[in-house]
Each structure stands twice: as C-alpha cells, then as structure tokens.
Amino acid sequence: SKAQLFDKDVKVNITFADVAGLDEAKVEVMEIVDFLKQPKKYTALGGKIPKGALLVGPPGTGKTLLAKAMAGEAKVPFFSLSGSDFVEMFVGVGASRVRDLFKQAREKAPCIIFIDEIDAIGRARGRNAIMSNDERENTLNQLLVEMDGFGGDTGIIILAATNRPDVLDSALLRPGRFDRQISIDRPDVTGREQIFKVHLKPIKVSTTLDIHKLAEQTPGFAGADIANVCNEAALIAARKGKDAVDMSDFQDAIDRVIGGLEKKNKLISPEE
C-alpha cells in the first residue's frame, strides 16, 4: 500500500540535540530550516529559495537522522521514501507513487520530503542498475517533473541521501534541483565521543565507564555502529545479571559489532 511506501505526514520530535557531531553539516542545514520557518525574509529581496539539497556520506552516518531533525526544528511534516522501495516495482507504479507523494506534500506545505538512497532511482543511464531501466527512468523523470513543477516559495524542501553521488544522473544536480551538497562524514574521535554520549543516555552505566576510551577504540565506526554497540553492551551486561553496564561489556559489544562489520564487508566485496 501507499502507506508502506512513504511515511505519510509524520510529525517529528527529533531535534538537532539528537544529532551528535556533524557541526558543519548542521550549520548548513540550519539555513534550510530557516527558509522553511520564514520564507518571506528570503524572498523579500527577490532571491529564490533552493528546492533541494543532497546529503552525501557513507551508510549509518546520520543522514536520515539529520533530515528528520530538520523537520523537527522547523516543526513541519516529514514525508519520506527510499529509492530501494522502487526496486522490482511494475512499470509506471514508481512514477505514480512519486506523483502522489508530491501531491500530498503540496497540501501539507511547508514540509520536508526525504528521499533515501536516491541513487537507486537517480543513476545515470546505462549504468548497471538494480531496477529495470525503463522503470527507473520513468520514476526519475517524474521526480524531475515534480521538482520543476513548483516554485522555491512553495515551502517544500526536498532532501535526498546517497553514498554514491558520482553515479547520479547530472539532470538531478542542475540548478533548481539538488544544487546543494552537504557532506556527512564518518565521525572522528571527538564526534564518536559525542555520539556515545547521546546513545548512553538511556543506559545504566558503571561509574568507571571511560567514554573517551570507547571513542578511541572505535575508529571507522559510523553513528549507527555506535548506537549498536551501546545497545549490545546493555544486553550483554543484562545477560550476565549485572546492574550496570561496564567497560568489559562494551569491549565485548565492540568486538561483536566489528565482527558483524567484517562479515558485511565480505558479503559486499567477496575475495576473488
């Protein structure tokens, strides 16, 4: 059903406080939040408000989280769909879903539309795609038509996320479409410490827990991996009957998450 394909008019209570690190990206997106909050301030001098921005970065780094936080900060509805939802869809269905989504968004504006994994629909022609070329092209064309069909003062901001900006059809990146790129990188040690602090909030931890050390022991981890570590550590400690989570539980959880990441990497790039 449609409801499964995109979250309809979801009220968001996530704010920038839930997004740790990503300081530069936050500054850039705050500008967009302000466009949604006070559009007239920007159009007063004849300027055109941008319609969309591309969030670029590896998986699990907080692109979706940041997009939701923008909706939460601007207090506007959040509509989302994922490029991968269109995989294996019958020809014509993808395009009509895109049309429906924009129709609803226009009724609820100001609002944010978030398209995750836009590369699944926005790949340049001829690249080996995961969905049939006809269907992908229909869906992409409809998206371009919709984006061109409203003015920047309509109060709809379209955000899209990808970890492969290089494969995107250049039509998507033209002025008036996704003409801004915001990069969301894997966190450095300070960023990781901040992310640990966010995800440790609901967890009962031992007074001897060294958060800085945890951050040092998790190079290369994305925010999603850190969230995973915190949850695993709590489960490991609970299984052992402890009343607080300590360093050894976190060590075990980190090992487990590293094991999972290695397995995933092997699946993605099998040794040949």
Give the span between the Cα atoms of 147 and 55, in whole angstroms: 17
Give the span between the Cα atoms of 147 and 106, in whole angstroms: 12
In whole angstroms, the minimum distance from the beta carbon of 192 to ligand ATP comes to 9
Please give the structure tokens belonging to residue 126. Answer: 């001829």
CB nearer to ligand ATP: give 61 or 217: 61
Give the span between the Cα atoms of 252 and 258, in whole angstroms: 10
CB nearer to ligand ATP: give 82 or 138: 82
CB nearer to ligand ATP: give 97 or 192: 192
Binding site for ligand ATP (CB under 6 A): 19-22, 59-65, 116, 161, 195, 198, 223-224, 227
In whole angstroms, the minimum distance from the beta carbon of 239 to ligand ATP comes to 22
CB nearer to ligand ATP: give 110 or 223: 223
In whole angstroms, the minimum distance from the beta carbon of 185 to ligand ATP comes to 10
Nearest C-alpha neighbor of 81 from the set 119, 116, 107: 116
Nearest C-alpha neighbor of 25 from the set 55, 45, 64, 5: 55
In whole angstroms, the minimum distance from the beta carbon of 223 to ligand ATP comes to 2
Please give the structure tokens belonging to residue 227. Answer: 């969230």
- Is there a contact between 150 and 23 (Cβ–Cβ < 8 Å)? no
Give the span between the Cα atoms of 63 and 66, in whole angstroms: 5
CB nearer to ligand ATP: give 49 or 230: 230
In whole angstroms, the minimum distance from the beta carbon of 123 to ligand ATP comes to 16
Number of Cα atoms under 13 Å in the Cβ half of residue 262: 6
Nearest C-alpha neighbor of 205 from the set 239, 256, 247: 247
CB nearer to ligand ATP: give 116 or 249: 116
In whole angstroms, the minimum distance from the beta carbon of 199 to ligand ATP comes to 6
Backbone angles phi, psi at 63, to 5 degrees: -65, -50
Give every CB contact of residue 231 below 8 A, 6+ residues apart in sequence: 199
Cβ-closest residue to ligand ATP?
223
CB nearer to ligand ATP: give 52 or 60: 60
In whole angstroms, the minimum distance from the beta carbon of 139 to ligand ATP comes to 19
- Interior/surface letters 118-134, b for 16+ CB within 10 angstroms, e for the rest: bbbbbbeeeeebebeee
In whole angstroms, the minimum distance from the beta carbon of 214 to ligand ATP comes to 14
CB nearer to ligand ATP: give 167 or 224: 224
Which sign does the torsion angle of CA 243, 248, 252, 254 carry? positive
